Amino acid sequence: MTEHAEQNLLLEQPTVQLWHDELRLLLCGKRDYLVRHLGSAEEYVERQLRDSLDPEDADSAFGAALNAEVTAWQVGRRRTPYYLKSILQLICAFTPPAGFAKAIEMIERRLDGLEEFDTELCFVAVAALARYYRTTPPNAQTDAAFGNYVNLLDRLLSDIELAPMAVRYLLELGAVKLSDRKFAASIVSDDAKLSAAVEYAVRPPAAWSGYHLSALLNACLRYGDKRPFEQYFKNLEGYNAPVILEEDHILVVPADGQKVFIRPDRDLCDLYATLKWDLTYELGLKRLEDLYAAA
Which pLDDT score, from 0 to 100, does residue 13 have?
86
Torsion over CA: 165, 169, 175, 179 (sign): positive
Which pLDDT score, from 0 to 100, does residue 288 have?
42
Return d(Cα 178, Cα 187) in angstroms, integer: 9
pLDDT one digit per residue (tens) for the chain, 295 residues: 566 667 778 888 889 999 999 999 999 999 999 899 999 999 999 999 999 999 999 999 999 999 999 999 999 898 999 999 999 999 999 999 999 999 999 999 999 988 888 899 999 999 999 999 999 999 999 999 999 999 999 999 999 999 999 999 999 999 999 889 889 988 998 999 999 999 999 998 878 999 999 999 999 999 988 999 999 999 999 998 899 999 999 999 998 778 999 999 999 999 999 999 988 878 765 654 554 555 4
> What pairs with residue 251 in β-bridges?
244, 261
DSSP3 helix / strand / coil % (the chain, rounded to 5):
65, 5, 30
CB 22 within 8 A of CB 48: yes
Which pLDDT score, from 0 to 100, does residue 287 have?
57
Which pLDDT score, from 0 to 100, does residue 295 have?
47
